[in-house]
Every structure is written in C-alpha cells, then in structure tokens.
Amino acid sequence: MNVTDAKATEHLVTEQRNERTAHIDRADTLTMLRLINEEDALVPLAVQKELPHIALAVDAIVAAMEAGGRLFYCGAGTSGRLGVLDASECPPTFGTPPELVVGLIAGGSEALLHAIEGAEDSGELCERDLRAHGFCERDVLCGIAASGRTPYVLGGMRYARALGATVLSLTCNPSSPMAALADIAISPVVGAEVITGSTRMKAGTAQKLVLNMLTTGVMIRRGRVYGNLMVDVQPTNEKLIARARRIVREATATLSSVPDDAAIDAALAACGHHPKVAIVMLARGTDAATAETILTDCGGHLHAAIEADYEH
C-alpha cells in the first residue's frame, strides 16, 4: 500500500480508535473480557439494520440459482476465509453440490492458513480466479471486505458487472467503493474495533452472521429445510447418521401412523441415508425411487411432497 492509499484508509470506521477500550491493556482479565463482550454485543444490532438488504440479496441468489446460476464469494484475509468457510459448510449441511456455492480467497488455498503478502492488492487475480470457475452472467458474486475497498474484491466485482451478473457487497464501512459497485450493498457498521484495525473481531463477526443468513435463507427458500430440520444433511459420519435418524423421527412424528425406529432405519438404508427421501417414503408409503421422483416433481420441497394433495 502506498502513502496515498494509506491516508485514504485513515477515515474508515474500521480503522478508528475505540475510546472505550483505550486502556484495555491495563485491565484485569475479567474486565478485559467484559470490554470485548460489550463490543461484541453491538454486532447483532448493526446486522439487524441491514436485514432489508440481506433479504433482497437472498431473493436475488434464489432467483439466480433457479435459473441455473451459482453463488460466489470473494475476499482476502479474514473476509476471504469466512467466505470459504460458509461455502464449504453448504454441502454437508444442505446436501448441495460443492460447485453451487464457491468461496474464493486472494492467494488461493494456501492463504487459508498463511498470509499471502500482496495477493489482495491485485484486481486481476480475482478475475482470473472467477474465469477458472467459469463464472458467467447467471451467477451471483458477493464481494466481502471490512474496508469495502480491497483491490482483489473490486477487480472481481468489476468483472462480474461487465458480464451482467448480479453483484453483492458485504462491508463494514458505509459508502464504500464496493458498495458503489454492488447491485445490493450490505453494510453492517459495527464501529471501531476493540483492538484498533483488527477487523477479524467485530467486523468479522458481523460478516459471519450475514453469510450465515445468506446461505441459510437461500437453502430454506429452495426447500432444503423442512420446518427447522436440515432434511438434506449428508450423514457422512456416526454423529450425522444419528442426526439423520432424529430428523426423520421428528418429521414423521405427526403422521397418522407414526413409524417406529426399525421402519425409520429401513427407509434410510433403502435410500442411501437421505433423510428427505426417507421422510417421503414413510409419509406416502412409497419406495425410494418413487419418493425421489415425487421430490423432483415438487422441486425438492417436502411440504408439497408430503402435505399437499399431490398425485404422482
């Protein structure tokens, strides 16, 4: 960063000094932790103010996915890691293909564990990363940066806009260059950090909350949640196998003929331990293949598959 760029960041909210924690280094341990906790408590309030923008973003992502598009995150440092984390959680939680939600971080996979100096300063790198994934006009790009001015992210956003794709921004500074480029700007302003400029703290927490909302909201809208049950969970270990069994038990508890554990286990075994399919099998008295066909015809929505007056 040159001197001009350094001066340009001095006014950023996330770079200001927090007077409430100015003497945190002299506080006893409990007081120090209380100060951190009090600042953290401000984060959900900042996110709450952005709920209308988050809702618009969720609806835009759903529309894109229904037209065959995908969701991409791009960021650097903490912001990039949070995007990669959120993307990587979607397949096991919601049973989505790994290419549906993609996280890109400046510097590539090595940057997840180690700082890659200078990677975030190149806008061309993000365009290259997007091209490598076949990013197109049907997709959605969400740029993530606490400052709202990271060159890697801005470069990716400009490329996405040039293609005609929907562009979102997630920043923690108002009226940022990223927000100006975005179709929908999400800007939870959490104020000065506990440790000056350490945006892995409040800003990172705000970004994590918003990213949770984006993908969880999208998956709920797309039928990958029934009630509040993650019916598309991939049971890849013993803990998740047990969770899948509980999910099926909860979802079928109100049926006129409640299945016992043996029937639940048999249904899960017959459909490759896919809770959603097992639920339809038990609710409609069908085999796995028929249940899968019904779900496909209903767009994956369990309410339509087991509650509506549906005839296959």
Instruction: Name the residues annotated as catalytic.
Output: 89, 120
- What residues are paired with 144 via a beta bridge? 75, 170
Q: Within 10 Å of residue 164's Cβ, how many Cβ atoms?
A: 10
Query: What is the rounded CA–CA span in Å between residue 202 and residue 33?
Result: 14
Burial of 80 (0-12, 13-18, 19+ CB in 10 A): buried
Instruction: Report the DSSP beta bridge partners of residue 229.
Output: 226
Q: Would you say 162 and 131 are in contact if contact means Cβ atoms under 8 Å apart?
A: no
DSSP calls for 208-273 = HHHHHHHHHHHHHHTT--BTTB-TT----SHHHHHHHHHHHHHHTTTSSS---HHHHHHHHHHTTS
Q: What is the DSSP letter of 126?
A: H
> Cβ distance 158 to 181 under 8 Å?
yes
Using alpha carbons, select from 286, 278, 291, 274 the residue that is nearest to residue 252. 278
What CA–CA distance (Å, rounded) separates 226 from 243?
14
Q: What distance in Å separates the CA atoms of residue 121 and residue 146, rounded to the nearest whole number?
A: 15
**Around 84, how many Cα atoms within 13 Å sit in the side-chain half-sphere?**
17
- CA 197, 198, 200, 202 torsion: positive or negative? negative
| Distance in angstroms (rounded) separating the CA atoms of residues 252 and 278 | 10
Residues belonging to the chain: 312
